[in-house]
A and B are shown apart, each in its own frame.
Chain A
């Protein structure tokens, strides 16, 4: 029985996917976890690893076709022991005539076996590299430049003979990338990080906090109106936002947190930390850590309301981290966020930000989140009302840490580093008491740090 390969779910809110290219042909041998196809969705492009080893028996969905998540896209024939049971028939090339001579047939089978036998990894590497060559023509220099500039070659159209990507294509792309890109931007660049800047923004909230991408370089008609076709990513965000608002009765509640000790610690240690570790630390790991503590105390914050009116509470705390890119928003996942130290979280954040920049997010990165923390505060906002990333129970926005005169103990007035934390929650699951208790816990944790913080 052949195993059917299904269109994977590349992210929570993604309902369908498009085959960007097949990296294997029908009849090719595929190792387990070897890339089978390139999948394009509204959120990311990813290579689909084969779940099993076997022969790609049938491709069911052609390149550029879009199918719903879960649809069968290919069949793989698993042969547990290939050398013992040779393939039923040699894979015919397009012009191969039926084999009359049995000797010749044997030879072909043997050749076939030697490929999938013993040297299989070598053979398949060769096969796949041949494919890359076919998929895209590119000069050695362009390849190196693309690597140095973190450019996904698939998103570049070559202008050389036969569509070859060459130096000027990369340089033009890099130059264009410096210029803000307006909304006239359309489909093929889905998932590209164009500025490389990573900002925490309200995850599903979308537009109001996405890095102001751009002065649209749109041409206006005489009536002063320009009609813009949104990118696939923009469309996906739009659909998700409307669906979220329709699905969850949103309620928002806000606490004010005194971040003075953390701010002072960061002022003093930020640079040394970066020098020592090679990655930066910011307020975000502190807030994430505190959120984990809040979730442990209020597990319903880490849950989902299902269509058949059940509540699914999740044990693992996987925080989604909203990352704005110039073409839109992605929310990669930090798995088991509660298992890390502050430094460990800082490292995870930096790694995933880098992967986002390099457009290297995997399917894994785009699914499994249980709650989102976002940070529009980097844009100086002081109060946000985020929209829930479905199917979560809540979302927390951290706004800017600013100095304010604050009344402290003994009615004295002092200058403190203050931050508002806004929590939007699904009122079906939680009430004000639960939400307030959660925020209280988060605040207590954040205010519990002294000037000396052990981040390890």
Chain B
């Protein structure tokens, strides 16, 4: 079995789950005939037919609304957003329907909403979103963000098998990155939701991050080791809701300094909540200020130099880490 890309791993997960369980089906814009805007679902229409791989109109509220209805009827829909930016069109169906249904009726809503998120591909203001914080804030839906090929497959399988709505945010920058190619286990596996993973061990500070920023931070950690003799621990959160508080607290208790890096904008972001948790639970373990590196509070820019300036770069991460280390 050959090494696959992050994108292929997502396709594998969908295919294997559809083979395993007839209740699982895919719906979204261009997912069938075209095979998906990024070709995630290439070949699925041929294998499973148009009743299980459904091309929909350009109407995210209808896609999500239909998925909620199907889930209530016992199906396990996977609703694809062609770009995750447009999930806002289905916001009401998520917040008021999917998230609350179980509490209103006692009926579970086992559905997955997934789609390409994140920037770094010159996608401009409507094709670069990181929408996790909106949903992270809303009770009733789980939010997962895979950063590796292995996790992309395992987390999606876990999401499909979960009895709650799960927002699965794949990062489009990682889709075909050669260095993320990985040989996956031939047997069935899942990556449990709610478990973070330590990508790198270190004593000098903990970096909390997720998604594409995990790779940025790993590179920064290497530089910090070589140039500053700093050992940086990197925690890939993987699951934002629920958060793996235990792993986070354990690591920060050990290193006493914490840097939070995310691609989403700063204010009210995941980092804000992490900072609050750390300040509340570990105040007397902190040897420096909880520090965040995130995008500025501005819409995602289109011009490539602006995009580069907007995203958390290596330079920003290194500067923040060095300042924190010296604090």
A189 sits at the interface (CB 8 A)? no
Are B287 and A139 closer than 8 Å at their CB atoms? yes
Interface contact B284-A166, CB-CB below 8 Å: no
Inter-chain contact A167/B326, CB cutoff 8 Å: no
Say yes or no: is A164 at the interface (Cβ < 8 Å to chain B).
yes
Number of interface residues of B (CB under 8 A): 10
Q: How many residues of A contact B (CB 8 A)?
A: 11
Complexed CA–CA distance, A160 and B287 (Å): 10
Partner among A140, A160, A161, A164 whose Cβ is within 8 Å of the Cβ of B284: A140
Stretch at the interface among A27-35, A141-149, A318-326: A141-149
Cβ contact within 8 Å between A160 and B286? no
Q: Which single member of B256, B283, B285, B327 contacts A160 (CB below 8 Å)?
A: B327
Digit string of A159-175 for contact with B (CB within 8 Å is 1, else 0)? 01100101100000000
B326→A141 contact, CB < 8 A: no
| A144 with B284: CB separation less than 8 A | yes
Nearest chain B CB to A147 CB, angstrom units: 9
Structural contact, A161 and B327, CB atoms closer than 8 A: yes
Question: Which residue of the partner chain, among B286, B323, B326, contacts A140 with CB atoms under 8 Å?
Answer: B286
Mask of A122-159 contacts with B, CB within 8 angstroms, 1/0: 00000000000000000111111000000000000000
B284 touches A143 (CB 8 A): yes
A136–chain B nearest beta-carbon distance, Å: 15
B287 and A161 form a contact (CB under 8 A): no
CA of A139 to CA of B324, assembled, Å: 12
- Judge whether A161 and B326 touch: CB under 8 Å: yes
Chain A interface, DSSP helix/strand/loop, else mixed: helix
Whose C-beta in chain B lies nearest to the C-beta of A137? B327
In B279-300, which residues have CB < 8 Å from any A CB?
283-288
Name the B residues within 8 Å of A142 (CB-CB): 287
Q: How far is the CA of A252 from the CA of B23 in the complex (A)?
A: 101
For window 255-274 of B, CB contacts with A under 8 Å fall at 256
Q: Which residues of A contact B327 (CB under 8 A)?
A: 139, 160-161, 164, 166
The answer to whether B256 touches A167, judged by C-beta atoms less than 8 angstroms apart, is yes
A167 touches B284 (CB 8 A): no
CB of A394, distance to nearest CB on chain B (Å): 49
Q: Which residues of B contact A161 (CB under 8 A)?
A: 323, 326-327
Complex-state Cα separation, A160 to B256, whole angstroms: 14
A143 to B285, CA, bound (A): 9
Contacts of B287 in A (CB 8 A): 139-142, 166-167
In the bound complex, residues from chain B placing their C-beta under 8 Å from that of A139 are 256, 286-288, 327
Shortest beta-carbon distance, B319 to chain A, in Å?
A: 14
Residues in B285-322 with C-beta less than 8 Å from chain A: 285-288
Interface residues of A in 337-366 (CB under 8 A from B): none
Tell me, rounded to whole Å, the shortest Cβ–Cβ distance linking A412 to chain B.
64
**Residues of chain B with a CB closer than 8 A to A166's CB:** 287-288, 327
* CA of A364 to CA of B283, assembled, Å: 35
Known: A140-B285, A143-B284, A167-B256. 6 other contacts (CB 8 A): A139-B256, A140-B283, A140-B287, A141-B287, A164-B327, A166-B327
Chain A residues near B (Cβ < 8 Å): 139-144, 160-161, 164, 166-167
Return 24 A-B CB contacts under 8 Å, by A number: A139-B256, A139-B286, A139-B287, A139-B288, A139-B327, A140-B283, A140-B284, A140-B285, A140-B286, A140-B287, A141-B286, A141-B287, A144-B284, A144-B285, A160-B288, A160-B326, A160-B327, A161-B326, A161-B327, A164-B327, A166-B287, A166-B288, A166-B327, A167-B256
Nearest 7 CB-CB pairs, A to B? Answer: A144-B284, A141-B287, A167-B287, A139-B287, A140-B286, A166-B287, A141-B256
